[in-house]
Structure 1
Amino acid sequence: MTSADNNAEVFFVNRKSMLDSIAEIIIAGLIASWLCRLIRIPDLIGFLLIGILFGPWVLGMLNPSFTALSGELRSAALIVILLRAGFELRKDTLRKVGRQALLLSLIPPVFEAAAVATICFFITDLSISEGIMLGIILSAVSPAAVVPQMISFRSENRGTTKGIPTLVLAASSLNNILVLIIFSVLMPFLAGNELLGTSGIVSIPVSVVTGMAAGILIGMLLVKIFDHFNPRATRRVLLIIAVAVVFLRLEKEIAQWVPFAALLAVMTLGYYILNKRENYAHEISQKLAKIWVLAEMILFTLVGAEVNPEVALRIGLTGLIIIGGGLLIRSAMTYICLSGSNLTSREKWFIVISYIPKATVQAAIGAVPLAMTHSAGAEIILAVAVLSIIATAPLGAIAMKIAGEHWLSKDAA
């Protein structure tokens, strides 16, 4: 057998092994999804448990070449969910809820992160920097739970007169983007690799401006292309996803010269297309919803695969105290931010509940400290991040659905 034949055989085996892992995840994921719906909990809990079961700590069924791609696959899942959020943000409704959305995206997550870091200082062995890192990770809201539910309430015209679904969508999306920007800026400092200087602080607002500008400019270009060539919706989606991937690549390439918030550019792109060509946006949004079925399955399975069950069990009660303390402070600040609005008490409590679920962002960045430092503290951070998903995603999603159905008025179409 020639060297070329050997190489071809090795390539085929490796490729087959990766495909086997994907096939196993899909089959197990579909079964888990069916079981989760029977007992009325979010599908992502089933996917997480499959990841833990299939991961290296239990059965070791996933091919290493597949799990090595987890960072890129998590980024792809974030692209899909933020595009979906962008395609639901209407300009007129944003004007109506702008002040509240800005307050909700800034104040509650900052206080939650501070509360988590403080609790960690007193009841865990985590260093101050690790506590801050965990606080930042936990201060994000789950778009995987919030976005589909708000889209559903909007289609049912629940709370639409006051723009409540759009307020939650806008505030949660901005919250997550700001968390991701702050995390990316502070991560090298918190990991002990470099000091945070004035340039690091200044880079946060600069990255917001450049991200929004890029989203608008590319959005203008894509609208012109769509108008001129009128491609099918599937081709539009493929082009938009490709552009979003380029944004992420660009963020890394120009980081040393110009701060750039790629994920904000992604969401702004969706926002621009919706407000300029609504017919395009609806078709693209429907296609993205179908893509999310697979993206969600792979994202949460891969996160589950990185969890060490022994560490997760050991941190159990302590982790719940950390998560609960942070949520308590966050909920109080959320309600305070809504004071002075025209919302009823029940509508305010609905928004408070909507900010309980944690999933997508915790899944996307919870494993980053472990990848960078491989420390015991980083293992605890990942375990608490996953515990926050398991504890808050099902309860928060169920509470949000029930509260919305009972506390949001059904407005005329």
Structure 2
Amino acid sequence: MLFSISVLLLLGMSLGALCKKLHLPALTGMLITGIFLGPYALDLIDTSILSVSADLRRIALIIILIRAGLSLNLEDLKKVGRPAILMCFVPACFEMAGMILLAPKLLGVSLLDAAILGSVIAAVSPAVIVPNMVKLMEEGYGTKKGIPQLILAGASVDDVFVIVVFTAFTSLAAGDSVSIRSFINIPISIFLGMMAGLGIGLLLSVFFHRIHMRDTAKVILFLCISFLLVTLEDYCANVIPFASLIAVMTIGVALQQKNQALSLRLSSKFNKLWVGAEIILFVLVGATVDLRYLKSAGGTAVLLLLFVLLFRMSGVFLCLAGTDLTKKERLFCMIAYTPKATVQAAIGGIPLALGLSCGNLVLTVAVVSILLTAPLGAFCIENSYQKLLTH
């Protein structure tokens, strides 16, 4: 296990740095590291690490969402208004509609299989988007009009919406009934997550004000509370809908509103944690990629993905209609809302595990979407924001 961890970190860090030198996103090198070290290639990652891979990826995601919450200014988000709400579900709906229209013709699948495929592909990746948007906020690009805040908030809620829709479609394919309650649970889970995060954030700000402790101890306490919230969501899944990751981010927002100086110090601490968490996250995402499925995909899957991304970008364009954003700023939002990675890695194999006829195809397209959009999306964001956004 120690050998696997050292190789994983050293090679991930080295290839990430090499990609940066070549003006490519560092995550490209980390994904490649995971693919070649993973069980479908050299098989150098210990099985004990792979068995807890989902939990490790979740921990990394929690770290970056805390960092995002500590950097997110609510006043800037309020200025955006209506588009912030629309971005949570409209682009995903457009992308699913595009998949339902095109997949039966290009891949010869049924409408229900196309709907399942669309619900897997429609989620954007917070792991790619969040660190890039935090970077923009720190550098002051697009913040006056709340562009990074808009994308950040939308991407966080987008995943909750898409996963609920995916669960509904897979239940239909498995022969189970789908209740209206599952769709009503979407806004309820988001609302309860926000309320829980806000309440805990306010309590933490009072606690930190009255009880003196080192910032490192505050970081540990923050992480422990976040882990407990995520665990609570798992236990209460069938009783009370609760979006724990939104709660985690809202805690950071509440702390930032009450004590900006403290949030800056904590954000600095989480930035350091993210250095290692980023490598673990993307290397383990790469390790889920089974290269054998890529042979069966061919150019058709790539073509299909490019088309449905155009549908998604059209959805983003519609969300921004009537705003004061310039053409360049709207173009940036459309580009920034395309990367996929973590959700596809997490749910791409579920239809296959359920024994659905579309399982292999869904996993194949999910793999292609990660390899195509994660590096390409990150590359486009990193190389366009200075040209398209106002500093």
Same-fold call, TM cutoff 0.5: yes
Offset at residue 191 of structure 1 (A)? 6.0
Q: Deviations over 1:120-165 (max 9, x none)?
A: 2222255544432332232222333322332332233222222222
Distance 1:367 1:51, change over 3 A: farther
Unpaired stretches in structure 2, ≥5 consecutive residues: none
Question: Partners of 1:286 and 1:141 in 2: how far apart?
Answer: 26
User: In the alignment, which residue of structure 1 is the partner of 2:232?
Assistant: 250
The question of 1:115 aligning with 2:101 is answered: no
Q: 2:73 aligns with which of 90, 111, 115?
A: 90
Q: Out of 394-403 and 240-249, give the one that drifted further.
A: 394-403
The question of 1:77 aligning with 2:26 is answered: no
Q: Deviations over 1:81-140 (max 9, x none)?
A: 222222222121111012111112221111112212332222225554443233223222
The question of 1:297 aligning with 2:279 is answered: yes
Offset at residue 407 of structure 1 (A)? 2.1
Distance 1:113 1:54, change over 3 A: same
Kept after mapping to 2: 8 A contact 1:130/1:378: no
User: In the alignment, which residue of structure 2 is the partner of 1:385?
Assistant: 366
Number of positions where the alignment pairs a residue of Structure 1 with one of Structure 2 = 391
Offset at residue 320 of structure 1 (A)? 0.8
Distance 1:286 1:153, change over 3 A: same
Kept after mapping to 1: 8 A contact 2:164/2:182: no
Question: Partners of 1:181 and 1:289 in 2: how far apart?
Answer: 31
The question of 1:29 aligning with 2:12 is answered: yes
Question: Partners of 1:181 and 1:84 in 2: how far apart?
Answer: 25
User: In the alignment, which residue of structure 2 is the partner of 1:198?
Assistant: 180
Letter in 1 for 2:21: L
Letter in 1 for 2:14: I
Question: Partners of 1:248 and 1:191 in 2: how far apart?
Answer: 28
Distance 1:174 1:200, change over 3 A: closer
Offset at residue 187 of structure 1 (A)? 6.7
Letter in 1 for 2:18: L
Distance 1:120 1:271, change over 3 A: same
User: In the alignment, which residue of structure 2 is the partner of 1:395?
Assistant: 376
Q: Out of 388-397 and 98-107, give the one that drifted further.
A: 388-397
Secondary structure at 1:87's aligned position in 2? helix
Question: Partners of 2:348 and 2:72 in 1: how far apart?
Answer: 27
Q: 1:282 aligns with which of 222, 239, 264?
A: 264
Kept after mapping to 2: 8 A contact 1:307/1:382: no
Q: How does 1:170-185 map to 2 (within 5 A)?
A: 170-183=153-166, 185=167
Question: Partners of 1:238 and 1:191 in 2: how far apart?
Answer: 43
Offset at residue 375 of structure 1 (A)? 5.6
Secondary structure at 1:169's aligned position in 2? helix
Q: 1:404 aligns with which of 379, 385, 388?
A: 385
Kept after mapping to 1: 8 A contact 2:64/2:131: no
Offset at residue 329 of structure 1 (A)? 0.7
The question of 1:333 aligning with 2:327 is answered: no
Letter in 2 for 1:87: L
Offset at residue 271 of structure 1 (A)? 1.4
Kept after mapping to 2: 8 A contact 1:182/1:204: no
The question of 1:229 aligning with 2:211 is answered: yes
User: In the alignment, which residue of structure 2 is the partner of 1:11?
Assistant: none
Offset at residue 301 of structure 1 (A)? 2.1
User: In the alignment, which residue of structure 1 is the partner of 2:127?
Assistant: 144
Q: 1:218 aligns with which of 200, 204, 207?
A: 200
- Greater gyration radius: 1
Question: Partners of 1:398 and 1:36 in 2: how far apart?
Answer: 11
Distance 1:298 1:193, change over 3 A: farther
Distance 1:279 1:247, change over 3 A: same
User: In the alignment, which residue of structure 2 is the partner of 1:260?
Assistant: 242
Q: 2:28 aligns with which of 45, 66, 70?
A: 45
User: In the alignment, which residue of structure 2 is the partner of 1:103?
Assistant: 86
Kept after mapping to 1: 8 A contact 2:61/2:127: no
Letter in 2 for 1:297: I
Secondary structure at 1:158's aligned position in 2? coil
Question: Partners of 2:53 and 2:291 in 1: how far apart?
Answer: 19
Unpaired stretches in structure 1, ≥5 consecutive residues: 1-17
The question of 1:352 aligning with 2:343 is answered: no
Question: Partners of 2:65 and 2:113 in 1: how far apart?
Answer: 27
Q: Deviations over 1:43-79 (max 9, x none)?
A: 2222222222122222222222221112212221221
Q: Out of 86-95 and 399-408, give the one that drifted further.
A: 399-408
**% identical equivalent positions:** 38
Kept after mapping to 2: 8 A contact 1:32/1:47: yes
The question of 1:153 aligning with 2:136 is answered: yes
Offset at residue 209 of structure 1 (A)? 2.0
Question: Partners of 1:59 and 1:315 in 2: how far apart?
Answer: 22
User: In the alignment, which residue of structure 2 is the partner of 1:322?
Assistant: 304
Question: Partners of 1:44 and 1:158 in 2: how far apart?
Answer: 22
Q: Out of 144-153 and 205-214, give the one that drifted further.
A: 144-153
Offset at residue 355 of structure 1 (A)? 1.1
Q: Deviations over 1:291-339 (max 9, x none)?
A: 2222222222223223221211321312212211111011112112212
Secondary structure at 1:194's aligned position in 2? coil
